[in-house]
Amino acid sequence: MTTPPTPFVVGLDVDGAGTHPAATTVAGISPADLVSAARLARTVRRAENAGVTFATFADALLPAVAGSPGSARLDAVTRAAFVSRTTTAIGLVPQVPTTYPEPFHVAAQLASLDIAAAGRGGWLAATTRTPETAAAYGREPADDLAREARDVVQVVRDLWDSWEDDAVIRDVATGRYVDRDRLHHVDFVGETFSVKGPLITPRPPQGQLVVLAAAGDVAPSVRDEPLVDVALVGGPDVASARAAARAAAAPASGAADSAARAVVDLEVVLDADGRPAGARLAELDAAAPAGARTDWGAGALRYAGDAPGLAALLGELAASGDVAGVRLLPAVLDVDLPALARDVLPALRAARLTAAPRAGATLRETLGLPRPANRYDTRYDTGHREARHAAPRAAATA
């Protein structure tokens, strides 16, 4: 087996009680514990100690089950920022929707997360399909989610570059704190909104946070600029997940995530506490609330079985060369994470398939992604400015 140039990526979703819609019920976690700072810090610390590359924080404005205290959940960026000071190595990737929030706020919040986390920030750019969310914002439901996602990711990337790295000059002789020529109005005009810029927050430590998105969620850039760094793919079986990964990473596909690394979303139910995975899953499915808004079973690859089988599957995916890594979606965090940490991840590290992130490394460094040049820095010809002005769009109708 050849060792890949960058270690195989192992992400983990750390939201709530686990990814399965019945995780809270079956694990018997109270709503207060579910959202407690102690539980949050403990879970992400466990993931970091297990050598996990990055943690995602699944989120949505509305609860999974309306009216249920068991659906208690806190804002993802706020959670990620909190654990930025209780961890030192793991990447922190909150899920933030592109569909209704203000892109200017999203850009500032994520840049601030990256500052607090010293360059370990990422963004799982999601779309929101539920019409109830539009009502919570007092708006009409969005009609083209992929196009909206494209415009939002694009302007957020522009805003992250709107301060050049050396904009703060502290020139005592002239009294100037910043060089205004290194601060840029982004003058973005999308299909449904426009943003003037620059951002209120300086350029994040990584330059650009790592952007993750489900393959197909973000429409291709009109500027031929890669918008997504890591594409999340799934499929009913390994062959189809590998095919989806090849499609997402294929440079010729013309998709916005064409240059992306492909990471397979993998639902995990392990044998644990003397109970086989199949029995655990049956119990969870039987306890699942009706009508829950959930991504469980929505298209990710699934593994239910023992730890050696999962290690073998991960080894197979790593050896295939199609896949940069996996994001593990544990059915029940408090059961499956300890099993992963004890029985699965050490074997992968021992085989040098994976490596725990180094304390102090940025998420880009951990993933082998370069720190990008600033699109507004005239010393680099990134092509982005020209492309933007070459493709003017209809004025926003706010």
Partner 1 sequence: MTTPTTPPHAPAAPIVRPHAQVHFGVFFQGVNHTTIWSDPESGSQTDLASFERVVRTAERGLFDAFFLGEGLRLRETRGRIHDLDVVGRPDAITQLAALAAITQRIGLVATQNTTYHDPAELARRLASLDVLSGGRAAWNVVTTDNAWTGENFRRGGYLDHTDRYERAAAVLAVARGVWDAFPDDLAGDVARVSVPGADLRTPRDLALDVSTPRSPQGHPVIFQAGDSPQGRDFAAAHADVIFSRHGAVLADALEFAADVRRRVVAAGRPGDDVKIFPGTAIVVGDTPAEAEEKARWVRRAQVTPATALSIVGNIWGEDLSSYDPDGPLPAHDPVVAELGGERGSATTGARTHEVARQWRALAEAENLSIRELVVRNAGERGFTGTPGAVADALTRWVRAGAVDGFNLSPWIVPSGLDDVVEKVVPALQERGAYPTAYEGTTLREHLGLREPLTRRARGRSAAVDADSEPTLVPTP
Q: Which of residues 185-224 bind partner 1 (CB under 8 A)?
A: 192-198, 200-202
What is the distance, to the nearest Å, from the Cα of residue 116 to the centroid of all Cα atoms in its chain?
A: 17
CA distance to 24, 82, 104, 169, per residue, from 108 (Å): 32, 16, 6, 21
Q: What residues between 358 and 377 interact with partner 1 by CB under 8 A?
A: none
Using CB under 8 A, which residues numbered 54 to 73 contact partner 1? 61-63, 66-69, 71-73
Give every CB contact of residue 80 below 8 A, 6+ residues apart in sequence. 55, 57, 92, 93, 94, 113, 117, 121
**What does the radius of gyration of the chain's CA atoms come to, in whole angstroms?**
21
Residue 18 interacting with partner 1 (CB under 8 A): no
* Residue 49 beta carbon to partner 1: minimum distance, rounded to whole angstroms: 17
Comparing CB distances to partner 1, the nearer of 82 and 347 is 82
Q: Output 67 or 274, the one with its CB closest to partner 1.
A: 67
Stretch that binds partner 1, among 163-171, 261-269, 278-286, 374-382 (CB under 8 A): 163-171
77-116 residues near partner 1, rule: CB under 8 A: 77-79, 81-86, 100-105, 108-109, 111-113, 115-116
Q: Which of 12, 14, 26, 40 binds partner 1 (CB under 8 A)?
A: 40
Calculate the alpha carbon distances from 103 to 79, 100, 376 in Å: 19, 9, 19
Asked if residue 163 lies in contact with residue 202, where contact means CB atoms within 8 angstroms, the answer is yes
Q: Quick one: 202 or 330, whose CB is closer to partner 1?
A: 202
Output DSSP code: residue 208: S
Window 111-150: residues binding partner 1 (CB under 8 A): 111-113, 115-118, 132, 135-139
Give the Cα separation of 262 and 233 in Å (integer): 7
How near is the Cβ of 327 to partner 1 at its closest, in Å? Answer: 23
Q: Residue 199 or residue 329: which is nearer to partner 1 going by CB?
A: 199
> Least distance from C-beta 136 to partner 1, angstroms?
4
Asked whether the beta carbons of 300 and 294 are under 8 A apart, the reply is no
| Pick 133 or 354: Cβ nearer partner 1 | 133
In our burial notation (b when 16+ CB lie closer than 10 A, e otherwise), range 96-134 reads bbbbbeebbebbbbbbbbbbbbebbbbbbbbbbeeeebe
Residues 260-299 that bind partner 1 (CB under 8 A): none
CB of 95 vs partner 1, minimal distance in Å: 14
The number of residues that bind partner 1 (CB under 8 A) is 75
Q: Which is nearer to partner 1, 1 or 398 (CB)?
A: 398
Site membership for partner 1, residue 24 (CB under 8 A): no
Preceding omega of 198 cis (within 30 degrees of 0): yes
Structure tokens at 98: 């592109």
Tokens at 235, concatenated: 């499929």
Min CB(372)–partner 1 separation in Å: 20
Contact status: 178 vs partner 1 (CB under 8 A): yes
Yes or no: say if 40 and 90 are a contact pair by the CB < 8 Å rule. no
Residue 92 in tokens: 């922190």
CB of 44 to partner 1, least distance (A): 11
